[in-house]
Structure 1
Amino acid sequence: MLEPGIQGHAALRVTTENTARALGSGELDVLATPAVAALIEKACWKSVAGELDMGTGTVGTSLSLVHTAPTPIGMVVRCDCELTAVADRRLTFTARVYDDVSEVAHATHERYIVDNDRFTHKASAKLNAD
């Protein structure tokens, strides 16, 4: 059963592939905000994945992200997250992201528990919509 307090972690090294220049979110060779968002989502979904019923997963539905400091190529960034609220299928997390020097971002992230097959079928049905 999912209860507040579950914690998760994820990390990545800043490379040329996850910079603002490479991801199209800016011109500089520093960690891109979209890469920070993906790191937060990864930490959150992985933190609860093992607690879910077979055949279910989570999908991100909102992310309120504040990216406060740049991180250069070569550094590692780490995300620590915590499940702070559970309301039926809605999960709310807080997250903080750090490089070797300081906090570089913080966020609130919401995910929903879904039936994987049903969700995939719903998405695939859009390919046949007229």
Structure 2
Amino acid sequence: MLETGIKGEAKEVVSESNSAQAMKSGELKVYATPSMIALMEQAAYKSVAAELEDGKGTVGTLMNVSHISATPLGMEVTAKSELVEIDRKRLVFKVEAFDERGRIGEGTHERFVIDNEKFQEKANNK
């Protein structure tokens, strides 16, 4: 059952493949903003997955975050999410990301509960 307060977490190590240079979001070999956002989304969607009915899932629809500190290659990043609002099928999460030295990102993320099969079928019929 979905209720506010559900928390999630996801981790990864900064590498060449998730750097700004590799993600084409910059020229430097530091943790890319798109990688941070993806890790935040992972923390959020996994946190509620087990609470949904069979065949249901969530899709991200809005991300409003600040990337406030650079992280070098080799350092671990942890994204954390907390479900703070439920409005019918709309879920709002507080999201944060940390490296080994402190907070590197923060913001909010919205997801919608969907029927996986119907959603996929609709996308395939475009």
- Give TM-score, length-normalised by structure 1: 0.96
For residues 103 and 40 of structure 2, what CA distance do their matches in structure 1 show?
13
Moved over 3 A (4+): none
Aligned pairs for 1:21-100 (under 5 A) are: 21-100=21-100
Q: What is the distance in 1 between the residues matched to 2:82 and 2:95?
A: 7
In structure 1, distance between residues paired with 2:109 and 2:124: 25
Q: Report the CA distance between 1:95 and its aligned residue.
A: 0.9
1:85-112 CA-to-partner distances (Å, cap 9, x unmatched) read 0010000000110000010000200000
**Superimposed CA distance per residue, residues 72-97 of structure 1 (whole angstroms, 9 cap, x where no aligned partner):** 00000001110000010000000110
Amino acid at match of 2:24: G
Structure 2 gaps, min length 5: none
Size of the aligned set, in residue pairs, is 126
Aligned-residue Cα RMSD (Å) equals: 0.4
| Deviation for aligned residue 1:29 | 0.3
What TM-score comes out, normalization by structure 2 length? 0.99
Q: Offset at 1:30?
A: 0.1
Distance 2:34 2:79 in 1: 14
Q: Which has the larger radius of gyration?
A: 1
Please name the residue that 2:4 is paired with.
Answer: 4
Look up the equivalent residue of 2:92 and give its one-letter code. T
* Secondary structure of residue in 2 paired with 1:26: coil
Q: Name stretches of at least 5 consecutive residues in structure 1 with no aligned partner.
A: none
Alignment-derived partner of residue 112 in structure 1: 112
